[in-house]
Amino acid sequence: MSYATIIEENVKKLCRLKKWNTPIIILLHAINRYNYHEIFDMAKKAKVLGANTIWYQLTHLEEFSFKELKLNSDQMQEVKSLLRQAREFCMHNHIKFHSFIDFELEHYCEDSGDWSQGGLLSQGCYVGWHFAFIHLRNELSFCCGLKVLGNLDKVNNFESFWYSDVYRRYRNDGLIMHKEYPVDMYGKPLYDKFCDSCDNHDQNIAMIEWLKKYDLLQFVER
């Protein structure tokens, strides 16, 4: 039995265990040159498996994968067409279609393959209020882009660091990095190449929308 088959069988088992629509099953697909033509089939597979939500995301390109995975302009046009078909299919089959892919397509740079370039510089990064990433070495990072802010071995616990003055300063640095380019504890800039294809832009946008909804954005100083 292949790994893909095992994963599908496990998803089916989870779906059979659902009561009152929980747990929520989300299928996330990272789209690149090798699988973009399967976008519509991915939506159909979500229905077969009984998933609640499907999430498409462009693949985060690195130097070693750029030539192999980057989509060309013709492929990107096909991606947009297939996504429209998948969105319509999901609508008719009661599958939630995460719309964050729209931001990525809007900010896509054909030359670099980046898909959120400039977004964080113009909006500021609010992710520091939403979650943190803890490495196996117990290094605490601002996000999954490995912006190391401290080590849990050197503090009492995660809670104390989360509410600390140090973390509060880094959160504020995230908002003004377009002006001052602050750095993490190792001297690495908070804004770097990784931010040009930010995996957390959906959370960033959601927090900005919440701030607007409750008329709190006016209190955020940038």
Domain membership of residue 41 (yes or no) is yes
Q: What is the pLDDT of residue 206?
A: 86
CB 207 within 8 A of CB 220: no
Cβ-count burial of 186 within 10 angstroms (0-12 exposed, 13-18 middle, 19+ buried)? exposed
The pLDDT tens digits for 181-190 are 788 888 888 8
Average confidence (pLDDT) over 159-186 = 86
Domain assignment present for 87: yes
Q: Do 135 and 214 sit in the same domain of this protein?
A: yes
Q: Read off the pLDDT of residues 53-95 as tens digits, 9 standing for 90 and up.
A: 999 999 989 889 999 999 999 999 999 999 999 999 999 999 9
Tell me which of 106, 134, 157 is where a domain ends.
106
- How far apart are alpha carbons 50 and 164 in whole angstroms? 43
Query: For residue 42, is pLDDT > 90?
Result: yes
Q: Last residue of some domain: 74, 106, 138?
A: 106
**Is 160 within the bounds of a domain?**
yes
- The Cα–Cα gap between 188 and 133 comes to 16
Residues 172 and 199 in one domain: yes
**The last residue of a domain, from among 106, 140, 167:** 106
Q: Which of 222, 134, 146 is nearest to 178 (CA)?
A: 222
pLDDT given for residue 214 in this prediction: 95
Please say whether the beta carbons of 150 and 166 come within 8 A.
yes
CA angle 148, 30, 121 (to 5 degrees): 45
> What pLDDT shows up at residue 48?
93
Residue 183 belongs to what domain range? 119-219
Q: Are 85 and 143 members of one domain?
A: no
The total of structural domains in the chain comes to 2
Q: In the predicted model, is pLDDT for residue 180 greater than 90?
A: no
Q: Which two tokens stand for residue 3?
A: 């790994």
Is 114 inside any structural domain? no
Under the banding of pLDDT at 50, 70 and 90, the label for residue 43 is very high
Higher pLDDT, 126 or 220: 126
Residue 205 tokens read as 């946008």
Sheet with strand 53-58: strands edge to edge: 26-31, 53-58, 96-97
pLDDT at position 59 is: 93
> For residue 155, which of 131, 139, 179 has the smallest C-alpha distance?
139
Residue-level pLDDT at 217: 86
Is 112 part of any domain?
no
**Which residue in 83, 98, 103, 91 sits closest to 27, CA to CA?**
98
Whether residue 141 contacts residue 133, with contact meaning beta carbons closer than 8 Å, is answered with yes
Summarised one tens digit per residue, pLDDT across range 199-221 is 888 888 888 899 999 999 888 87
Q: How much of the chain, in percent, has pLDDT values that exceed 70?
A: 97
**Residue 191 confidence (pLDDT) above 90:** no
What's residue 20's pLDDT? 72
How far apart (Å, rounded) are the C-alpha atoms in residues 33 and 35? Answer: 6
Considering the domain architecture, whether residues 72 and 124 belong to the same structural domain is answered as no
Q: Examine the domain organization and report whether 134 and 101 are in the same domain.
A: no
The CA dihedral of 167, 168, 169, 175, to the nearest 10 degrees, is 110
Entry field: residues in the chain:
222
Same structural domain for residues 78 and 138?
Answer: no
Q: Is residue 49 part of a domain?
A: yes
Q: Which two tokens stand for residue 20?
A: 């009152």
Mean of per-residue pLDDT scores for the chain? 89
Do 60 and 124 sit in the same domain of this protein? no
121 has a pLDDT exceeding 80? no
Q: Does position 99 have pLDDT exceeding 90, yes or no?
A: no
Rg (CA), the chain: 20
